[in-house]
Amino acid sequence: MASNIILAILVTSIATYSSRFLGVLTSEKIDENSKVYRWFNCLAYSTLAALISRMIIFPAGLLSESDYIIRLIVIITSILIFFLSKKNLVYPTVFSAIMLTLLNSY
């Protein structure tokens, strides 16, 4: 059992770091203003938006026990804090966890 875990860690580490290494090697030739790069950027943001929307509308686990209105309040206030803190991600993330915990406990 322990050898299987070590083997799984090794295989996943090799897969992760080899793809990152190849990304570093090929990143010098990528033009950030090209249409393909902008398309991949839009694709990444749209995937992230879809996953966040799915978590809000169809939550799984403990998040499904909270009401929609509570989740909506936390999201709106976190977005406001994000813009008020000059697009810092730390403050809204910490605030949303605290606020969701407090609102769900009442």
- Whether residues 96 and 71 share a domain: the answer is yes
- Whether residues 22 and 42 share a domain: the answer is no
Q: What is the pLDDT of residues 44-59, one digit of tens each?
A: 999 989 998 888 888 8
Q: What percent of the chain has pLDDT over 90?
A: 46
Amino acid identity of 59?
P
Whole-prediction pTM value? 0.57
Structure tokens at 7: 């083997």
**Token match 């009442």: residue?**
106
- Whether residues 43 and 78 share a domain: the answer is no
- Whether residues 90 and 105 share a domain: the answer is yes
- Whether residues 25 and 38 share a domain: the answer is no
> 47 lies in which domain range?
31-58
Q: What is the pLDDT of residues 37-96, one digit of tens each?
A: 899 889 999 998 999 888 888 888 888 888 889 989 998 999 999 999 998 989 999 999
Q: What pLDDT is recorded for position 92?
A: 92
Domain tally, the chain: 3
